[in-house]
Structure 1
């Protein structure tokens, strides 16, 4: 079966393309989709952060299942499940894999939390700049939120006191511990050689899935475990299973054919059955498959992003939206969004060029050095 790349026109569209081709470096739209997902989080949050005009989030209103923010998070997790799995397979070494993953998450996170805690908070606090700088709450906020595995601290005193979501500084950080835990699943799969044995991978994911199901129906004394089945407002499902779906899709990438007619058929099936007992599984199946279609769409590939601002947008959006809401509590949420998006993109651009990109380059050099020291060869561009 030929891929879309070599089958032009409707004939190629009907045949589709293999997921393995989409996962090639120049064969996908992942950077664009992640940026759109980060902006979708902003759109979804705006209905809760600035609810003065009483609008309801349209996707949640239509589906009754999810909203734009939750679908954006699922998008991040599906794409990460595929790409992080591919990264582990390329590195085949914890010594190379771990620095690359940590460099992608931590430097920008630390910069964001530091500036939020020790610059924005003292400026915005109604309790005084000196009190904000020296407060135990500020230190705890910083160390909790850069540690991630000890839980997320949501609030600080004397800030955003009159906002719709009172005192919450950065409500988006809750997904980052989940992302790191999902990396542990990739490491476990790699150590078990599960990517070379679909049976082992399915068995591993089944065990993890059973654990998640247990946590969903029971409770845990550990905050980290409770966070795995956290379902914020607007969520009807959990984020980690979408990462697991990405891992499985990567493992079967040579056998998955991505075709828009199939994606459209699944979307129609959901619409036809949206009031039935099959509504939820049809919705999630259609969502993931259409995401794959968008990932490989050649028309979208014409939009080439030189820089990856998606993570910076994700980190900075919530505090910036909260600041806008604090100064204009009665503002229409869409007007607030029009103000917040440019400010957030500026912050994300600074994050990318000053923090993220240099950190990634340093991690790649470290990974290359480790590879050379162990006698292996790696193309730095493939790291």
Structure 2
């Protein structure tokens, strides 16, 4: 019942963020199992994949802002690139050169029209290579799955659509770091969070009373280079979660964490969920609940995701795995069997992705250009008399030993969810 500031309660690796990210990733798999295998939603009350992706963004906002405040801008951007792109690139190559040719050949008996031309493999890779989900399908691959028949089109990996939102949030944090907001004007972040929360509340009230939001949030932003067009509505919701997570980190010394507020936030979420209105004012309670659970869940859960973070891999591979299983008719064994098979296979792909791609890429997080490395070596060389500075040696050793905070979807958180996002996504808007 004691009140503890978040900065004191959150200590290093003693948290359950990794466990929560993995839960969010499998929540997406569960919800998509109903849509992709049986052409129906999991529940009419709650948008479970959308809520899971919002959780990824809430965690990312907290951890990414923490990372941006503690590292230089080039190092921050380098870390974010390593966490998102290598895993995404290998996933896209796997889809383009393994999944698509296999299922296209099984249907047509040849590959002569698969590679080039409208909606071919090369177009797919070019459109989605940098995180924007600008082409969803490849020719007519998976057109005859339950979901493909519903949308009357090919769809390879719709979960990737949230990565663009995650990357945009990363770039906004980088901009705030460059202009000094994160260190000298953090109140602007808090003000933006309060203003966005006010907009969510106003729109929720207006929609309940008049049937339409007072401030129209439908439509799309102008097309962004590499990322494509982003929905204003989803940017508002996921951006708010990221923003509140960032404000929580910036004011972590003043944010009280106690069981009364934690249980109250969970109760608020339950009430809004029962009424099907979670994507409004309840998002604020949702972010507090995420932070509360991260520090209050049993210590045994702290180990999940600390050494091996599979949440991003589960997120980016699960959709294409479920489409392949649906094409093969695995859903005939029933919902639970289809979900179990898709979850197990997705975890297997995530295992391979982490150990062979993501983890190997993250080993480069301390890399620096040779010229800069030579300059630092020259600056740190001992004096001519052979003496050394113990304080400098101690500082250097501490810096080398210190780790960096990595988000998912990670979402993601994750994205998404990778890191997303990586970081992790929903079928509602079009469907990360």
TM-score using structure 1 length: 0.82
Greater shift in the superposed pair: 323-332 or 171-180:
323-332
Which residue number in structure 2 is paired with residue 57 of structure 1?
42
Q: Which runs of 5+ in 1 are unaligned?
A: 1-13
Q: State the shift of 1:273 in Å.
A: 6.8
Which residue number in structure 2 is paired with residue 336 of structure 1?
338
Paired with 2:275 and 2:25, the residues of 1 have a C-alpha distance of: 31
Cα deviations across residues 338-372 of structure 1 (Å, max 9, x unaligned)?
Answer: 00111111110110111001101112233999688
Which residue number in structure 2 is paired with residue 227 of structure 1?
230
Residues 156 and 301 (structure 1 numbering): CA distance in 2 closer, same or farther, change over 3 Å? same
8 Å contact from structure 2 (residues 73, 177) kept in 1: no
8 Å contact from structure 2 (residues 61, 245) kept in 1: yes
Give the alignment of 1:356-375 within 5 angstroms: 356-366=358-368, 373=375
* Match status 1:354 vs 2:356: yes
TM-score using structure 2 length: 0.73
8 Å contact from structure 2 (residues 245, 287) kept in 1: no
Q: SS of the counterpart of 1:238? A: helix
Paired with 2:242 and 2:66, the residues of 1 have a C-alpha distance of: 13
Greater shift in the superposed pair: 66-75 or 281-290:
281-290
Which residue number in structure 2 is paired with residue 163 of structure 1?
145
Which residue number in structure 2 is paired with residue 9 of structure 1?
none
Which residue number in structure 2 is paired with residue 198 of structure 1?
186
Which residue number in structure 1 is paired with residue 108 of structure 2?
127
Cα deviations across residues 69-98 of structure 1 (Å, max 9, x unaligned)?
Answer: 11110111011111111111111x222111
Which residue number in structure 2 is paired with residue 382 of structure 1?
403
8 Å contact from structure 1 (residues 215, 225) kept in 2: no
1:103 aligns with one of 82, 88, 110: 82
Q: State the shift of 1:312 in Å.
A: 0.7
Which residue number in structure 2 is paired with residue 312 of structure 1?
313
Which residue number in structure 2 is paired with residue 67 of structure 1?
47
Structure number with the bigger relative contact order (C-alpha 8 A, sep ≥ 6) is 2
Q: SS of the counterpart of 1:239? A: helix
Paired with 2:196 and 2:228, the residues of 1 have a C-alpha distance of: 12
Which residue number in structure 2 is paired with residue 285 of structure 1?
284
Greater shift in the superposed pair: 313-322 or 254-263:
254-263
Q: State the shift of 1:139 in Å.
A: 0.3
Which residue number in structure 1 is paired with residue 324 of structure 2?
323
Which residue number in structure 2 is paired with residue 251 of structure 1?
250
8 Å contact from structure 1 (residues 21, 27) kept in 2: no
Which residue number in structure 2 is paired with residue 86 of structure 1?
66
Paired with 1:368 and 1:264, the residues of 2 have a C-alpha distance of: 52
Q: Which runs of 5+ in 2 are unaligned?
A: 149-153, 204-214, 380-394, 405-432
Whichever structure has more helix as a proportion of its residues is: 1
Q: RMSD value over aligned CA atoms?
A: 3.3
Residues 281 and 178 (structure 1 numbering): CA distance in 2 closer, same or farther, change over 3 Å? closer
Q: State the shift of 1:159 in Å.
A: 1.4
Q: State the shift of 1:182 in Å.
A: 0.2
8 Å contact from structure 1 (residues 219, 226) kept in 2: yes
Paired with 2:283 and 2:300, the residues of 1 have a C-alpha distance of: 24
Which residue number in structure 2 is paired with residue 238 of structure 1?
237
Which residue number in structure 2 is paired with residue 35 of structure 1?
22
Q: State the shift of 1:163 in Å.
A: 1.2
Which residue number in structure 1 is paired with residue 95 of structure 2?
116
* Match status 1:268 vs 2:290: no
Number of residue pairs matched? Answer: 357
Greater shift in the superposed pair: 32-41 or 154-163:
154-163
* Match status 1:296 vs 2:295: yes
Q: State the shift of 1:380 in Å.
A: 5.1
8 Å contact from structure 1 (residues 368, 380) kept in 2: no
